[in-house]
Every structure is written in C-alpha cells, then in structure tokens.
Amino acid sequence: MASSIASQARIIVPVRNGGARWVEAAAALRQSVPDPAMVVVIDSSSSDGSDLIAAQCGFELHKIDVRTFNHGRTRQEAVDRFNAGHELVIFLTQDAVVESRETLERVLSAFSDPRVGAAFGRQLPHHGASPFEAHAALFNYPPHGGTRFLADTQRLGIKTGYLSNSFAAYRVAALRECGGFPSDLILAEDACVAMKLLLSGWGISYCADSLVRHSHAYTVGAEMRRYFDFGVVHSQMPQLVSAFGAPEGEGARFVLSEMRYVGRVAPWLLPMVLVRNVAKYVGYRLGRSFQRLPARWCRRLSMTKGFWEQAAQPGQ
C-alpha cells in the first residue's frame, strides 16, 4: 500500500514559522511516507528555520513571499505546479501531527469509492490540550466515520459540507471540475470546495480511523477574531448558508456540548464557556457585516490580516 501512496498522491504543506510543533509534525510525516520527495512544503518567508526543517527531512521545498500567500490561491497553485500525474492530493497544515503510519493510507482508501471527491481524517487534540481545545476537536471529529452527500443536508445541515484542510485529501479531477480552490475568500477554501463538490454530486468521506493530532489553544480575543473571519466567509458565500442552512443551530449544539464537557472535566472553567462563546458570536456577527465596517477595523478584528492587506478595500 505504501508504494501506491507515492503513485497516487502528493502531500502539500503550507508553512510559516511553524516552530516546535512543525518540528514534531515534520518528523512524524517523514516517518509516514515511503519517499520524502512526495511531500511539498510551501514556505511563506519563514524566519525561524522552518524551511531548513523541511529540507533536512528531504521534502521538496518551494519558497514564496509571505505577502503573496492566500489560503485558496496558494493551495491551487501548488496543485497545478506539483501534482501533475497524480490522481489525488493530500493537504496538511504545519501543526497537524500524523498519528501513525496508517494515517495516510486510510484517508486515501476512501477514494476506492468512485463517488468520493474529497476525504478528511479525524483530528484529535494535541497532548496536554486545554479543556476548550480538547472539546473543540472531540466535538468536530467524532469516532464514527461515513460518506456524506447532498441529500444528507436535511439531516446534518451545514455540517454536511464540513471539511478541513488541516488534513484533507482531494480527487484532483473533482477539484478541477468544481473550479479549484477560490482565491477571493479570507479563509475556508476547504468549505467552499466541499460545498461545490456536494452540489456537483460528489461525496465527502470522513475517515474516523485516519488520525492526526491538531488543535488550537485560542485565547478569548483570538476566538473572536477567528469567528469574525468565519462571519466574513459566510457573507462572501451566501450560497453556503442558503444551500446548507444557517450555522447558528450547530453553534448552539456546540455550546451545550462544551458546557457538559467542561462541567465534567474542569467545572471551575464554566464561566469562561459563556465568555468565550459570547466573544465568538459578537465576532461572527461583526464579520457578517464586514462590508459596512472601515477596512482598518476589519484588519484589526481579523485573524487573517494578510487578506486585508491584499484586498483593495475602500478606506484602507
């Protein structure tokens, strides 16, 4: 099976100052691939030696100016340039640590079903994760997998198109059929492609036995900025909400689940559940109205500040 991975897919990892987590992730990835040259690292002007880590692992290294990085465009350019001759492409982020040698094989096995256009694995929290960090990973990535199609929208709502480029694989033909990754979104290029795949009749497979470690210890301020960006995306893609439903219902389910989880493992943190989720909601609503805000406010409220530097926004 290992040789079939090399023949079917390239692995693309965008990196920018990945720090100690990238050192860990790179080592785990190197142990999981039969040939390190199948891994392409797109380094955005790292200043902490992340590019050297990639080179030491034997990965193919391509450097770009950080000012040109765009979540969708950079990934699509990497597919076009480095994935010629391969049917599949795998994306990882610099902080996603491959859990075992079987991780990549298992996510690629989903494509034995010709209806599957994309697949993604289960993200477990990093070791030592905070209760909030751990819950987010456990809520979004349950232990049971399956393949979702557009018809599942009535049952799953906006969760039908859930997909994360922190660890996801795509059938290149399906990706190209739906227009590839967009270059005009602040983030969530994976959600955009997932939506277009489902609307085009493709399925998205969640491989719960394909494991990576990936979670974020966000502060309250970081959560607010992150959800501001989600609000911007949903404003940029109104068709996502119209086709799959508003996200508020899923958000309420998350809050209730988080209260139960934190109440069980760290009850003294229960007041922070309210604080964090109010911050998320305020950030999201501001993001949904970003077109009414001065560009300098958008940049300040956003986690993805480079987007606002690239965009030609009035008043910038």
Per-residue model confidence as pLDDT tens digits over 219-272: 999 999 999 999 999 999 887 777 787 677 888 999 999 999 999 999 999 999
Give strand pairing partners of 180.
none
B/e letters for 152-167, b = 16+ CB within 10 Å, e = fewer, are: bbeeebbbbbbbbbbb
Rounded CA gap, 149 and 198, in Å? 6
Strands, E assignment, 96-141: 97-98, 116-124
Domain 2-213 is in which class? alpha beta
Contact 72, 42 (CB under 8 A): no
The Cβ-side half-sphere exposure at 295, using a 13 Å CA radius, reads 11
| H, E, C per residue of 192-215 | HHHHHHHHCCCEEEEEEEEEEECC
Amino acid in position 293: L
Does residue 133 surpass a pLDDT of 70? yes
Q: Where are the domains of the chain?
A: 2-213, 220-310
Q: Please state the separation of Cα 227 from the chain's center in Å.
A: 14
pLDDT tens, position by position, 92-128: 999 999 999 899 999 999 999 999 999 999 999 999 9
pLDDT tens, position by position, 260-283: 999 999 999 999 999 999 999 999
For tokens 């969530």, the residue is: 188
Among the residue ranges 76-80, 159-163, 233-237, 248-252, the one predicted with the least confidence is 248-252
- Return the ∠ at Cα 105 (arms to 140 and 13), rounded to 5°: 65
Mean pLDDT computed over 153-167: 91
- In a 3-state reduction of DSSP, which class is residue 129? coil
Rounded CA gap, 105 and 79, in Å? 20
Rounded CA gap, 11 and 37, in Å? 9
**Which residues have a Cβ under 8 Å from the Cβ of 93 and sit 6 or more positions away?**
13, 14, 165, 166, 167, 214
B/e letters for 34-60, b = 16+ CB within 10 Å, e = fewer, are: eebebbbbbbbebeeebbebbeebebb
Q: Which of 168, 161, 188, 35 is nearest to 92 (CA)?
A: 168
Among the residue ranges 17-26, 102-111, 156-165, the one predicted with the least confidence is 156-165
